[in-house]
Amino acid sequence: MLSTARVLRLSRLPSLSLLALLAAAPTATAAEGWSLAPAGGGRPACYAEGEPGTTLQDTVSVTNPTTRPVTVRLRGTGVPITLAATAVRVPARTRADIPFTVNVPATAAPGDRTGAIAARDTDGREATVRLQLHVNGPKLSALSVEHLVVHGDRITYDLVNRGTTPLTPSLAVHATGVLGTHLDRAPRTLPVQLPPGRRLKLTEPWHHPALDAVDIRLTATAPGGAHDTAQTSARFVSWGAVAGAGGALTAAGALFLVRLRRRWRRGHNDGRTAEPPRTEAELTGAVM
């Protein structure tokens, strides 16, 4: 039996008033014989609005116009809902009001969410009331590309949502070496949804060159202006393709020329700002 619910006994009212009250009562998804609706009348759904970290309050009503009692169990879905009671016995020709609270998480991103309160009787009949929750706050679109690592046959990296709105990011991949461009993937939408504060570890497949020093750059973007770039470099030497000591000397000489040419390019940068330092990794072409 609900101790906090306010119970209105309609049997004491004149019959005309009873009919008028029942005719005016809002019906959400009404089950046979009894109904569930937002308290107060005239509302098709419950509506809550507040800042992250706040607790919001409202009330739903179970109206039983029949000649026998009904017992219903209530639950909230979709958003954090706490009901004053999860089981209510409603006498005949009676309405029970059940308060509830909506707890907005402190980390909730601004925007709209949809929930519901459902009531179900012992016969399996169910009624629901929709709940619309609006979380206040500024909308910020921001992301970062982190932990970029080049392996023998793949590139791994993390995408992190640093903003307050869900993101559907796009990614472009570019790899250029002394001997030319090895990878040039135009921006494409990734098949992921990145909620605020979420981190995802992702992988880009690729076929590295047998011999070159390569700069790898990943650029991530998302609607709302989110943008970030991460880059690293790697040197590839496929010793398995070199036969004998003479071949090894040839490969070593080629690698020396690659390094010498790279240093020359950096030293003759036409007075422009020097390139930022990179994290380099020596790769041998083996699958990591």
pLDDT digits (tens, 9 = 90+) for 105-119: 887 888 889 999 999
- The arithmetic mean of pLDDT across residues 276-280, rounded, is 40
pLDDT band at residue 79, thresholds of 50, 70 and 90?
A: very high
Query: Residue 284 contacts by C-beta under 8 Å, 6 or more apart in sequence?
Result: 152, 236, 237, 238, 239
Contact 101, 76 (CB under 8 A): no
Least trusted range by pLDDT, from 100-104, 118-122, 231-235: 231-235
In the chain the first and final C-alpha atoms are separated, in Å, by 64
CB atoms within 10 A of CB 240: 10
How much is the pLDDT for 207?
Answer: 84
The pTM of the full predicted model, rounded to 2 decimals, is: 0.51
Instruction: Read off the pLDDT of residues 230-271 as tens digits, 9 standing for 90 and up.
Output: 999 988 886 654 444 445 445 555 555 555 455 545 554 544
Instruction: Read off the pLDDT of residues 42-69 as tens digits, 9 standing for 90 and up.
Output: 899 999 999 989 999 999 999 999 999 9
- The arithmetic mean of pLDDT across residues 89-93, rounded, is 96
How much is the pLDDT for 206?
Answer: 87
What burial class does residue 64 get, using C-beta atoms within 10 Å of its C-beta: 0-12 exposed, 13-18 middle, 19+ buried?
Answer: buried
How many residues belong to the chain?
Answer: 288
- Above 70 in pLDDT, residue 163? yes
Least trusted range by pLDDT, from 7-16, 72-81, 88-97, 255-264: 7-16
Count CA atoms within 13 Å of residue 212 on its CB side.
Answer: 17
Q: Which residue shows structure tokens 């880059």?
A: 231
How much is the pLDDT for 231?
Answer: 94
The domains of the chain, with CATH numbers, are 6-135 (2.60.40.10), 143-283 (2.60.40.10)
- The arithmetic mean of pLDDT across residues 19-36, rounded, is 51
How much is the pLDDT for 37?
Answer: 96
How much is the pLDDT for 239?
Answer: 61
What percent of the chain lies above the pLDDT cut of 90?
53
Per-residue three-class SS string for 114-174: EEEEEEEECCCCEEEEEEEEEECCCCCCCEEEEEEEECCCEEEEEEEECCCCCECCEEEEE
- H/E segment holding residue 57: strand 55-64
